A and B are shown apart, each in its own frame.
Chain A
């Protein structure tokens, strides 16, 4: 590389120090989840628990039915992630490879929607879903929109990625008599797998964090997701901080697991899209 050795060493030290700072809040939440409330309110606060009370976790599940919430969350997320990734791939393919009338205007409308804050359309969508289609207190208003393209950024990402695949492969398939959809299935999809994983991860995180819409559409506590469950904690557990921290740490796990599975594709996927311009 063109950077100096000494500079690299300094960078490594600074990064390691910053990494400790970034991880400190997570460690503090985890360590708090393993302590009794009496220990939590001691001064000075110990850095690590004297006894690792993993029993706090089953005790928390009494107030915070984690497995129910997780199942509900997955009921929304799994179909949405699949639907969003598939429809974004279809649209990205059309924009990257196919010629058709109206392409430019559609592409502008699509990219333009990236600039539109989602909260602006919330009220009309709520009226349509809950008063027009009577789907209040179901998961449909949260799932179905993801089957409609999966978001402009994701379409754009897939399109950029497909543009990096050499045309020769398509041409060869075309000569063999393959139609556009056949080319998509047999050539494009296998080569854009890492971009699709990036899109799936982004959709996953987006849904996971979308507390506002879940609050609006879900009323019954039996349908509560992890996000909704967490948002009720302060009301039910008040200052029982050790249980609140148990619930917080439990809700961290699914995202981290999904990220660790997808992470090796992550930067590579975004680099490949030629985000330079």
Chain B
């Protein structure tokens, strides 16, 4: 009987996992390997059949490509602004929402709302608010005596302007922070209260340590997601003005799907993958110093 039960369990497990295994093999890891190999080929316009060219794609990328270094810089600036902005904004909102306040459910829904709106429509909608002559923001800035700004039409302001939209869209981080805050054990706060800790001390020494694993998770996911930013470039700016919003995913899209250079696009993807992997590794290694796990001595 136990043997039969065990075999039954194994069969059931594999049955349940068939779709995911297919997905992991054919949609995740095999394509990952293929993108590495494709990056050594010339394939696409001018080369109907893949032709091995060694490291030429990479050489071109780092030396003669007029866009690559700019797009790397623009992507990093966007990611840093968005990750910092959305982490601070959503942790702050989540902490306030975690208090006993009237209309909490409604307020929670309000802050989450932007996240459920389709992103490209949001970018288009905001582009009207950013409009230089008749937009809401220049009107509001005019009230406090600031000169008109061109926002997304200005090479210097386009990335911060798009980052502000991305922060506004980051309601999903709020929900995850909120969930984490509700899981902070009440007894810790009560013990700290008995010891006479004020609310800032409790925030610093109870809430933050208990929240570090969630902060880490949100940081990691926000970084990976925001490095892949492409929607505003596709829907709104086409990488402009100039190259100011030519994000690296957009560069990949252009090389592979507009110019039809699949090998070259794969090289862009590979470099991008390596950069993300380095960032992820740095985050994981440094996280050992600041993540606090319950019941663990530091």
User: How far is B21's CA from A101's CA once the two chains are assembled, in angstroms?
Assistant: 14
Interface pair B134/A45, CB less than 8 Å apart = yes
A46 to chain B, nearest CB (A): 11
B136 to chain A, nearest CB (A): 5
Residue on A nearest B295 in the bound complex, by CB: A277
> Which of B99, B101, B252 lies in contact with A119, CB distance below 8 A?
B252
Interface pair A91/B35, CB less than 8 Å apart = no
Residue on A nearest B212 in the bound complex, by CB: A277
Provide the B38-50 mask, 1 if CB < 8 A to any CB of A, else 0. Answer: 1000000000000
A-B contact count (CB 8 A): 301
Interface pair B102/A256, CB less than 8 Å apart = no
User: How far is B218's CA from A76's CA once the two chains are assembled, in angstroms?
Assistant: 29
Which residues on B sit within 8 Å (CB–CB) of A7?
99, 199
Give 5 pairs: A residue, B residue, CB < 8 Å, sorted on A: A28-B128, A28-B136, A87-B20, A99-B10, A120-B270
Query: Does B265 count as interface, using CB distance less than 8 angstroms?
Result: yes
Residue on B nearest A205 in the bound complex, by CB: B116
Query: Does B139 count as interface, using CB distance less than 8 angstroms?
Result: yes
Interface pair A32/B118, CB less than 8 Å apart = no
Please list the residues of chain B having a beta carbon within 8 angstroms of any beta carbon in chain A: 5-6, 8-10, 12-17, 19-24, 26-32, 34-35, 38, 93, 96-97, 99-103, 107-121, 124-129, 131, 133-134, 136, 139, 168, 175-176, 178-180, 182-184, 186, 189-190, 193, 199, 202, 210, 213-214, 217, 220-221, 224, 227-228, 230-231, 234-236, 249, 252-253, 256-257, 262, 265-266, 269-270, 272-273, 276-277, 280, 293-294
Query: Does A18 count as interface, using CB distance less than 8 angstroms?
Result: yes
Query: Does A139 count as interface, using CB distance less than 8 angstroms?
Result: no
Which residues on B sit within 8 Å (CB–CB) of A180?
8-9, 12-13
Interface members, chain A 1-48 (any B CB < 8 Å): 1-4, 7-8, 11-12, 14-16, 18-19, 22-26, 28-29, 32, 40-45
Which residues on B sit within 8 Å (CB–CB) of A205?
115-116
> B-side binding surface: helix, strand, loop or mixed?
helix
A247 to chain B, nearest CB (A): 8
Interface pair A276/B214, CB less than 8 Å apart = yes
Interface pair B182/A271, CB less than 8 Å apart = yes
Q: Other than the known A234-B236, A244-B128, what 18 A-B pairs have Cβ atoms closer than 8 Å? A: A15-B96, A16-B107, A22-B110, A22-B114, A26-B125, A87-B23, A101-B10, A117-B273, A120-B276, A212-B230, A216-B257, A227-B120, A230-B124, A245-B125, A255-B118, A256-B116, A266-B112, A275-B180
Which residues on B sit within 8 Å (CB–CB) of A149?
19-20, 23-24
> Which of A4, A26, A124, A181 lies in contact with B38, CB distance below 8 A?
A124
Interface pair B110/A19, CB less than 8 Å apart = yes
Which residues on A sit within 8 Å (CB–CB) of B168?
22, 25
Interface pair A121/B112, CB less than 8 Å apart = no
> Which of B35, B93, B180, B235 lies in contact with A18, CB distance below 8 A?
B93
Query: Does A51 count as interface, using CB distance less than 8 angstroms?
Result: no
Given the known interface contacts A148-B23, A258-B116, the answer about A91 and B234 at a Cβ–Cβ threshold of 8 Å is: no
Which residues on B sit within 8 Å (CB–CB) of A260?
109
User: How far is B213's CA from A234's CA once the two chains are assembled, in angstroms?
Assistant: 42
Interface pair B119/A122, CB less than 8 Å apart = no
Provide the A174-211 mask, 1 if CB < 8 A to any CB of B, else 0. Answer: 10000111001000000000000000010001001101
B35 to chain A, nearest CB (A): 5
